[in-house]
Structure 1
């Protein structure tokens, strides 16, 4: 609100404060209804129930949750829920999450997700959806796991892959660069001994690390609340982000160790190759079309860290890169995501639905010809959705939220 707010703003602010005090908050935090269709060790696959009066259309979408983050990232609150958006369009929507990680799970490594969790989830979704191929959408580490799975297991029914804020070149992450000399000096042993003793990265540490990446917003949060007391949607978003942060989970010990040594210390994935359980996974072997989105204000996965994957996907049918507004969580489910990230994902998924059904190559905005489909190599228009790699979506409200 301005220094001298208008009477209408004062009335709105008073109403918001009353709502908060009397009812505990302004955000509609009801989860979208869902049904468990498959489960295993740290694997729960859910199908979101269709809306009664909306016709089902297209191939299914599987949302891949990153480790340590709750599945709330995809279903933050009503009005800012990617799940609600997909279901509202009639898209068959599924999600894989991992439940609570305990000390008992400390021996599980990345292999568990690449060999078991994601392949089983993809097959379960495909079967539940009538044998159709599956569009994978992964945020943060969920996107990296989805990409590694697509590169390693070519027999899976994958229609396309969408990466949202997935950093491949961690040397470009500002919060990591200053720490690397200290880690190298100690040979990484301090952290190694700590995660072995604890059996992984406990929830309080994970929560603190996530908050540390946006410490400036934590410091200025009280002022931001005062300035937006009349904005119920802004306040509701803050409430939903706080709930998300409070529900962070732990990393299993061996998985955390692999991420620490191979991603953080050695930055191996920037080469496009990762040795895992006696084999080498090469990102050049990904054949599915891949959409890559980076958040303009993302401190965990900045643009250069995310864009590094584009040149590694030499075997993909098509690769597109786009910059969207928001921080690490905001680019997925901030208020500006409704008109940017979700638009990108919609166009990409719709395009590759059409390709699977053999639709004409000139399918409108956002639809480009896959390799070998047509002698006409003009490609998509520069104004098509996602076609311009330099395109940016800007939003001051998204930058203010940052979450």
Structure 2
């Protein structure tokens, strides 16, 4: 199609913005204040905008390992945290901080049994003793489910797991690794764990970044063309810029945890079977006794719908399990440009229902304000 005078003006304006300021995206993080701090655990409370009085059970965003906690606050106008805060909900963020060689001995026992439970208790205390509604993306959702399974006494109101795979047999990207994983059981798997944990200290940050880019290699290679053909679309350019900023902030993956996930999730597919061995005991998802919302992205290669949907049968003791699909890839389903009308809408309904379960009438909420 031939460009119109309007699109040419918009392209020229965006190009000038990039040339003069180096960016088009508003990457200012939502304002927060720390309410709790511990080893690998900083808990922040989001400050509500002027005139908004937070109410209802608190929401705690649980990030995955290796990805920055900014996944929930990608950019203004396309930030799940901004949306939830402006909707009048008490909102909190768990941040693990940087991961280094000194963290190589941290395993699932610490993340699921100490770090996340400590954050949940801190949020509950800060909100007057209310139970906490957990929202986890990717491995953050898996951690939230395992924490609920490990300790039913934790003040958890519900779990929303977004793009959290539990059946790796349905992950096509992992298919080439399965024969190697089967051969690598026993001593070879133990050797891999020693190398990751003791020698390398984990999966280094550059490797994590490149692995994430390889998952969407087609989009990555076509990016220059896409930018040129969408130079008149400020929203598209801002999203591209925000995703690049997110990818550049990827973190290392602690060695012991990497080895446990490799053996338990990839080799044994333990989440879809007998459960994961953590701290000397086996935790299966059938122990979860809180309501669970699971959302899968239709274009997600890491957590396709077939890898997420089994939660509907695995969570046999949960009083309510809801499965939804939404457009987008692994990050896009959480915070893509279409997430507001799909994933966020599902989450809004879920959190409103959780508010009603605790005897509070949901407020009439306006859409999140774009600044």
User: In which range does the TM-score fall when normalised by the shorter chain?
Assistant: over 0.9
Secondary structure class of the residue paired with 1:31: coil
Q: Which residue of 1 aligns with 2:247?
A: 245
Q: Which residue of 2 aligns with 1:325?
A: 327
Contact 1:272 1:284 in 2 (8 A): no
Secondary structure class of the residue paired with 1:175: helix
Q: Which residue of 2 aligns with 1:175?
A: 173
TM-superposed deviation, 1:186: 4.8
Q: Which residue of 1 aligns with 2:54?
A: 56
- Once residues 271 and 294 of structure 2 are traced to their aligned partners in structure 1, the CA distance between those partners, rounded to angstroms, is 16
TM-superposed deviation, 1:272: 5.1
Contact 2:196 2:255 in 1 (8 A): yes
Correspondence list, 1:129-148, <5 A: 129-148=127-146
Contact 1:38 1:44 in 2 (8 A): yes
Q: Which residue of 2 aligns with 1:397?
A: none
1:66-88 per-residue CA deviation (whole Å, 9 max, x = no partner) reads 00000110000000001100110
- Once residues 358 and 250 of structure 1 are traced to their aligned partners in structure 2, the CA distance between those partners, rounded to angstroms, is 41
Q: Which residue of 2 aligns with 1:69?
A: 67
Matched, 1:87 2:85: yes
- Once residues 249 and 358 of structure 1 are traced to their aligned partners in structure 2, the CA distance between those partners, rounded to angstroms, is 39
Deviates more, 1:99-108 or 1:183-192: 183-192
Q: What is the total number of aligned residue pairs between the two structures? A: 358
Q: Which residue of 2 aligns with 1:262?
A: 264
Q: Which residue of 2 aligns with 1:127?
A: 125
**Runs of 4 or more consecutive aligned structure 1 residues displaced over 6 Å after TM superposition:** none
Higher relative contact order (CA 8 A, sep 6+): 2
Contact 1:144 1:166 in 2 (8 A): yes
Correspondence list, 1:147-296, <5 A: 147-187=145-185, 188-189=188-189, 191-192=192-193, 194-196=195-197, 197-271=199-273, 273-296=275-298
Contact 1:43 1:117 in 2 (8 A): yes
Structure 1, unpaired ranges of 5+: 364-403
Contact 2:193 2:255 in 1 (8 A): no
1:179-213 per-residue CA deviation (whole Å, 9 max, x = no partner) reads 22234345555744541320111101111111111
Which of 104, 109, 117 does residue 111 from structure 1 map onto? 109
- Once residues 261 and 268 of structure 1 are traced to their aligned partners in structure 2, the CA distance between those partners, rounded to angstroms, is 9
Secondary structure class of the residue paired with 2:357: helix
- Once residues 108 and 241 of structure 2 are traced to their aligned partners in structure 1, the CA distance between those partners, rounded to angstroms, is 32
Contact 1:296 1:324 in 2 (8 A): yes
- Once residues 192 and 275 of structure 1 are traced to their aligned partners in structure 2, the CA distance between those partners, rounded to angstroms, is 15
Q: Which residue of 2 aligns with 1:24?
A: 22
Q: Which residue of 2 aligns with 1:379?
A: none
Contact 1:148 1:283 in 2 (8 A): yes
- Once residues 351 and 319 of structure 1 are traced to their aligned partners in structure 2, the CA distance between those partners, rounded to angstroms, is 13
Contact 1:273 1:280 in 2 (8 A): yes
- Once residues 306 and 282 of structure 1 are traced to their aligned partners in structure 2, the CA distance between those partners, rounded to angstroms, is 15
- Once residues 192 and 127 of structure 1 are traced to their aligned partners in structure 2, the CA distance between those partners, rounded to angstroms, is 37
- Once residues 344 and 207 of structure 1 are traced to their aligned partners in structure 2, the CA distance between those partners, rounded to angstroms, is 30
Secondary structure class of the residue paired with 2:42: strand
- Once residues 182 and 268 of structure 1 are traced to their aligned partners in structure 2, the CA distance between those partners, rounded to angstroms, is 17
Q: Which residue of 2 aligns with 1:304?
A: 306
Deviates more, 1:180-189 or 1:203-212: 180-189
- Once residues 320 and 289 of structure 1 are traced to their aligned partners in structure 2, the CA distance between those partners, rounded to angstroms, is 8
Q: Which residue of 2 aligns with 1:347?
A: 349
- Once residues 95 and 288 of structure 1 are traced to their aligned partners in structure 2, the CA distance between those partners, rounded to angstroms, is 20
